[in-house]
Amino acid sequence: MSSSDKDASASPCLSEFEDELNKAIQTITAHFLSHRRNLSSDTIVDVASPSQVTTIRDLAIPQSNPQPLQSAIECATQIFGHRIRNEHPRFFGFIPSPVSPVAWIADAVTTAFNVHAGSWFQSSGPSAVEDSLCRWLATQAGFPAGEGTGGVFVSGGSMANLTALMLARDQKLKFEERVRGVAYVSDQTHASVAKGLRILGFRNEQIRKVQSDGRFRMDVAALIEAVRKDREDELLPFLVVATCGTTNTGSVDPMDEIADFAQSQNMWMHVDGAYGASVALSKSHKSLVRGVGRADSLSWDAHKWLFLTYGCGMLIVREKRLLAESLASNAEYIQDAVEEATHNPNFWNMSIELTRPARAMRLWFTLHVLGLDKVGQMIDHGFALAEVAEAELRMLPGWEIVAPASMAIVNFRFTPDARSGEELDKLNSGISKRAVEENLAAPLTTKIRGMTVMRICAISPELGKNEMRKVIHGLDRIARSLLHSQTNHP
C-alpha cells in the first residue's frame, strides 16, 4: 500500500478537527465558569416537562450523518439543563455534591489520559498513587499504619458496601453455613446495605433491623439481645454494620461499643462512612469519627463531603489481602500483567471491576491543589451551616427540631397547632414543595419516626451563614402563608 493510499484510508486525524476541538473546549470552559459565577441564582430543580422529554427522546437517537461538534455541545447543555443542581448552595436534599472547581479539572485530566487502572502493568503510576492514598486515608480514619491495611477505589458507597459485605461473608461463614448467617443493621442504615446482602444471596429474614436510640444511633443493648436470641435459635450472626453519618440524621453509631461486641462474638464489623468518614480530615470535628478505625472495613465516598465529581468512592480494609482472597482471578491473556505485579497490586484482583478508571488520581489532584487545611475548613463550614439553621429555627414559633444538627444535617418540621399527624405531614410536604417552586431552597422531606419532616444537609462551601438564615426565614414565610391559606380555605 502506498503512503497516499494509507493516508486516504486512515481515520481522520486530530489536526483536521483541532480548531473545532479548541473552540469546543473553550465553549465548555466558558459555560462552566459562567455557571459557577451564577450558581446561586440558578434554578435548583428543573424536571423536564412531557413535551421536553419528547424532544430529548428524539435527540437521543443517533443520526446517520455526522453533526457539528458545537451542535452536540448545545444539545448536551440543553439535556443536562433538566436536572437537580446537586452542586447548588441551597440544594439540601439527599447528600448534595458541591463539587470543587478543582475537582472538575481533576476529572478532565484523569479522563484525558484514560488510564486502565486494573493492573500495575497498565497503570504503575496511578496504581502507586491509589495504593499509597488508600493506606494514608486508612490511617486518617484510625486504622493501624502498615502494609497490611489498605483498600481500593470504587464507584461509590453502594459498591464499597457490597464488596465489604462479601468479605464478611467469605471470612465468617463457610459455604454451607450461609443459609443460617445473620447480618445486623440499624433502622437508620442506608438501603444499599440490605440491597447488597440480597445481591449476595441473603434473604430478607437474614437481615436484622436493630432499633436506634433517642439520638438515632444503633441501640447496642438491642443489638446484643438480637444476637443472643439468634444464637439460641442456632443461627450464625456474622456481620454488624455501623454507620458514620446516617443519611437521614447524620447520626454516628457508638463505634467502640459495637467494636467491642463484634470482637467478642467473632463478627465482622463494617462501617458505612460513605458520608461521614470525610470528617476524619477535619481538625475541629475529627473526634466524632473516633472508633471507626476499629472496624474490619469502611466505605467512604469522596464525591460527597470531599467535593469530588461522582463516581469516586473507596473501600478501606484492615487486611487488604482479604480483597484478593475473595476477588482475585486469572486468564491467559493477562499473564504479562501478572508477572509485572509480583510485588505490587493489580487492583482488578481487589475489586469487582476488571476495567476501571484511575479514580484515585481525581482525589489526589484535588487534595494536592486545595491542601488538607482548606479541605478541613470546607468540611467544618458544613457543621456551622446546620447549626445556624437549627439556632434560627429554635427562635421561630411553631417550629420543632426533630433531629438536632449532626454532621451538617438537621431535621425539623412546622407544628403550629394541634393538627393531626396526617395534616402536619401534608403541611410540611407543602412547605418543601413551595420552597422548591420559588427557588428559595430545596429542603426535601424524609420520614423520621413515622413523621414527614424537612431535612437540610448543608455542606456547600458556597453558602454563607447569613444566606442560611434567609433560607430559614423564607421557609417560615412560606409556612405561615400556607397555614393562613388552609385556615381560611379548609
Looking at residue 18, its pLDDT comes to: 82
Q: Sign of torsion, CA 7 9 15 16?
A: positive
Looking at residue 207, its pLDDT comes to: 98
Mean pLDDT of 445-458: 97
Q: Where are the beta strands (DSSP E) in 384-476?
A: 399-406, 409-414, 445-448, 451-457
pLDDT one-digit tens code per residue, 200-248: 999 999 999 999 999 999 999 999 999 999 999 999 999 999 999 999 9
Would you kindly state where each structural domain of the chain is located, as residue ranges? 17-82, 115-370, 374-488
Reported as a pLDDT band with limits 50, 70 and 90, residue 17 is confident
Name the CATH code of domain 115-370 (choices 3.40.50.300, 3.40.640.10, 3.40.50.12160, 3.40.30.10): 3.40.640.10
CA distance 247 to 240: 18
pLDDT at 332 over 60: yes
Residue type, position 425, single letter: D
Looking at residue 21, its pLDDT comes to: 86
pLDDT at 486 over 80: no
Alpha helix locations (H) across 318-371? 321-327, 335-340, 359-370
Stronger pLDDT, 337 or 264, i.e. the higher one = 264
Looking at residue 364, its pLDDT comes to: 98
Mean pLDDT of 380-387: 98
- According to CATH, the topology of domain 374-488 is Aspartate Aminotransferase, domain 1 (3.90.1150)
C-alpha cell of residue 141: 480514619
Mean pLDDT of 331-353: 77
Mean pLDDT of 91-105: 96
pLDDT one-digit tens code per residue, 40-87: 999 999 999 999 999 999 999 999 998 889 999 999 999 999 999 999
pLDDT at 4 over 50: no
